[in-house]
Structure 1
Amino acid sequence: MGFKSKRKIKTNFVSAANKKLRLAWDRKHRQLTVSDWRKWVFSGKTRVNMGGSDSESFYWSDVPGTNRPHQVRPQVQGISDGVMVWGCISGDRPGYSTAIIDGAIDSNKYVEILKTSLMQTLE
């Protein structure tokens, strides 16, 4: 019948209340010039995986019960799967990055990052 399997696109959930807040912020700042935006610093965090994606992997097969190399995703035990990385960028240059090795970024780690990496970027 023409159906094809497709993966869903992942996106961050944004509540209706948060959408309203974002729209209000956008409207408030839409008159800023390029010169104004150069004074801003944008930051974010992401996970970098050592062994590939966290999501499921798929393959095509017409022979059941086989384990060919393309059907298996090897894992290394005892080694961290990846690191969290925080970074920032300004209108002048990219900022400093900080690798977060132990677990997730909680509020204490985030404040520590802001005190060091962000402040070094602003100097």
Structure 2
Amino acid sequence: MVRSLPLDVQNNIKSLLKFGHPYSSIIERVPGVKKSTINEHKRRWFSNMRPIKSGRKFEITATTKPYIRRSVITGFQARIKKHKPFLEAIHMKKRLTWANDHKDWTKDDWRRMVFSDETKINVWGSDGVKYYRKRPDDKLRFHHLDLTVKGGGGSVMMWGCITYNSPGYACRIYDGTMKKEDYVQ
């Protein structure tokens, strides 16, 4: 049950609610009123009122509206570019022969293996999500892909390994890539 308040206090709460003030602002402006009291009055007077939106406002500038409208009308949809390693035919052939050579290995054979890998950590830019637009019935084209090439400026190269027993060390590579001489060190 709503506690009876003086009429001027009720009108004050009503006008503040009508202009969209948050509860914290109403509590500051009307002394001695609790959040539950404001909520009950709001429920009684403005039962069909939409809740106040909070957070950052989504704004689209006047210059981008025509581009968005035209994209929607023509049926373009945003898609994420696929990451594809830049492999030539010889690379694919070597991968397949390696897999065929090792397909019959036992668990003991795999225990003797050391798996290692290098990775590039970008200092500038990002390898994150990149979008493109196309119609749903269009084919995937070259400019829809995000081709990746390892190495390059503005990055740090790291190397690490893992064995059957435990993970190995992680090392920073200063001269670009790991060579067979570096593994012996």
In the superposition, the TM-score normalised over structure 1's length comes to 0.57
Deviation at 1:45, TM superposition (A): 0.6
- Runs of 4+ more than 4 Å apart: 54-58
Taking every aligned residue pair, what percent have the same amino acid on both sides?
A: 36
Number of equivalences: 91
Q: How far does the alpha carbon of each residue in 1:90-117 deviate from its partner, in whole angstroms, 9 at most, with x for none?
A: 11111111113x4x524xx63564133x
Runs of at least 5 residues in structure 2 that lack an aligned partner in the other structure: 1-73, 132-152
2:97 corresponding residue in structure 1: 24
Corresponding residue SS for 1:84: strand
Residues 67-86 of structure 1 mapped to structure 2, 5 A cutoff: 82-86=155-159
Which runs of no fewer than 5 residues in structure 1 stay unpaired?
59-79, 117-123
Query: Whole-Å Cα distance in 2 between the matches of residues 32 and 97 of structure 1?
Result: 28
* Displacement of 1:38: 1.1
* Aligned counterpart in structure 1 of residue 126 of structure 2, from 50, 53, 57: 53
1:9 aligned to which of 74, 79, 82? 82
**Are 2:138 and 1:105 equivalent residues in the alignment?**
no
CA distance in 2, matches of 1:17, 1:40: 24
Aligned partner of 2:165 in structure 1 is 92
Give the Cα separation in 2 of the matches to 1:6 and 1:57. 8
1:40 alignment counterpart:
113
TM-score by length of 2: 0.40
Structure with greater contact order relative to length (CA < 8 Å, sep ≥ 6): 1
> How much is the aligned-residue C-alpha RMSD, in angstroms?
3.0
Contact 2:123–2:155 (8 Å) recurs in 1: yes
For the Cα contact (< 8 Å) 2:81–2:130, is it kept in 1?
Answer: no
Residues 98 and 113 in structure 1, CA contact (< 8 A), matched pair in contact too: no
CA displacement, residues 21-58 of structure 1 (integer Å, 9 cap, x when unaligned): 22122112100112211111111111223566256878
Q: Which has the larger radius of gyration?
A: 2
Which structure has greater helix proportion?
2
